[in-house]
Structure 1
Amino acid sequence: MNHFDAACGARTMLYSGTNQVISCLSAQERSLIVPHLRLCELIPGHAIHTPHEPVRHIYFPRSGLLSIVVIFSDGNSAEAAVAGSNTIVGAIAAFGDGTALNQVMVAAPGNADRIEADVMRRLARESEALRDVLIRHSQALAAQSVQIAGCNAVHPLEARLCRLLLQCRDLSSADTLPFTQDLVSSMLGVYRPSLTHVLRKLETARLVSLSRGKVRIVDAAALEECSCECYAAIKDQVKQIVGAGRLAA
């Protein structure tokens, strides 16, 4: 058992937060899934899913941030999606062979409930309502990935950075993000000097404040004005696919 798996076996007072998907499940759906959930710590820098390897667990984040990234043969990477307490990570493993296509890294510390993929496959077969939830959240993450792929190809770095910071602010419900510049440059697939230049520009404009290992959003409204259309588009996609009645974006 590695350090991450050991952390997933522990239950301490450090764990807090609520996964919105579980909160929105019906009593019947919760009764199926909750007995099989195990609480775990999300440790920054740890990979919970690795490309081409079996997805052994499906995650319901309570807090923290997960970054779904594409890893290239030269070692470079780029963000495909970002996830938090409003979704399920790895839900697609409840269908098919359950092999990870991309890497899922912990971008900000927190905790999550996780369930064995084999157990989730069995529960999905038993419950049509649960299958629908899993499918919808898989579709929402896939839609975000497509939107971000287009964003990375077309929009300038400043707009992409603003979009990412706003997304992470929404998902963490916090203005201060525990992000190093190395982490953000990796998520955006850019060289750190380019990122540093844009961050300093945003800081000079008093949109953000920088400190060691942290980025604090000072003016979210102004940051949204500098963001590209993808920030709003991703929020709208979540509402459309998941359903505003079941889960707030």
Structure 2
Amino acid sequence: MQISPRNRLLRTLSSDDLTLLQPHLRRVDLPARQVLIHSGAPLERAYFVESGLVSLIMQIGVTRLEVGMIGPEGFVGGSTVILGSRSSPYEHVVQIGGSALAIELPDLQEAMEHSASLRRQMLRFIQSELFQARQTAFVNANFGIETRLARWLLMCHDRVEGDDLLLTHEVLAVMLGVQRSGVTLAVQNLEGAGYIRARRGRITITDRTRLQAAAGGSYGVAEAAYRHLVEDD
């Protein structure tokens, strides 16, 4: 099959490494709100996201909080196995629908055993994913809701096509770990400043440059780390 070039991680692989993976990849749909991986459940496959957005959700008691997001820059599910586990502590939920190239985990593991360069590139992505999680923890502890929302919207915008994000206030509240009323006020403030336009179930980025200024130092560090670790030679 012809591998889509939309997955940035696959695009960084050598032709030999792509050849190892190619016979095992199959395209699948990622409907919004689908749970790809249940917390604690045995993992069966990994997904190289072509379009859409997947959130990694941690739940403690009744509290749910996003601790990471993956789009066409990476893959879902394989990192836990590569690091030596058979399950993930996080629920992986499709927040914005799209598609992915799926591969059974034994096939991915076998390919990595045959290629040190493939394994190295997968580990580089995992390192960037860990960096993103640590940056998110830092931002959550040191910035207000409005700044955190601006950062999160920019991260979503990086991973989708176009300027429309199909997101509800309920989803945003979970992603940021705050009350819905706080999200509503932050959305209203960003919309009033002209950075976004909000409609029911949809947020449109209208001025990315000013939205990035509103995010300040909370945005850009993890993105630069990804480019350095994964895309730069």
TM-score tier, shorter chain, comes to: over 0.9
Counterpart amino acid of residue 212 in structure 1: R
Match of 1:107 in 2: 95
Query: Which segment is superposed worse, 138-147 or 95-104?
Result: 95-104
Match of 2:151 in 1: 163
Structure 2: how far apart are the matches of 1:233 and 1:46? 29
Match of 2:205 in 1: 217
The match for 2:140 among 152, 168, 174 is 152
**Which aligned pairs between 1:15-30 and structure 2 lie closer than 5 A?**
18-30=6-18
Q: TM-score normalized by structure 2? A: 0.94
How far the C-alpha of 1:95 sits from its partner, in A, is 4.0
The match for 1:132 among 120, 128, 143 is 120
How far the C-alpha of 1:90 sits from its partner, in A, is 2.0
Give CA-to-partner distance per residue, 1:120-155, whole Å, 9 cap, x none: 112111110110111111111111001101111111
Kept in 2: contact 1:94–1:118 (CA 8 A) = no
Q: Answer 1 or 2: which has greater strand percent.
A: 2
Match of 1:176 in 2: 164
Give CA-to-partner distance per residue, 1:67-94, whole Å, 9 cap, x none: 11211122x2111111111112223223
Alignment length, in residue pairs?
A: 230
Other structure's SS at 1:162 match = helix
Kept in 2: contact 1:49–1:105 (CA 8 A) = yes
How far the C-alpha of 1:32 sits from its partner, in A, is 0.4
The match for 1:43 among 20, 25, 31 is 31
**Which aligned pairs between 1:179-194 and structure 2 lie closer than 5 A?**
179-194=167-182
Structure 2: how far apart are the matches of 1:243 and 1:165? 23
Match of 1:6 in 2: none
Runs of 5+ consecutive residues of structure 2 not aligned to the other structure: none
Match of 1:89 in 2: 76
> Root-mean-square deviation (CA), in Å?
1.6
Same amino acid, percent of matched pairs: 28
Counterpart amino acid of residue 34 in structure 1: Q
Change (3 A) 1:201 1:17: farther
Other structure's SS at 2:107 match = helix
Flag as ranges the 4+ runs of structure 1 deviating above 4 A.
Answer: none
Kept in 2: contact 1:61–1:88 (CA 8 A) = yes
How far the C-alpha of 1:17 sits from its partner, in A, is 7.0
Structure 1: how far apart are the matches of 2:45 and 2:151? 29
Kept in 2: contact 1:66–1:104 (CA 8 A) = yes
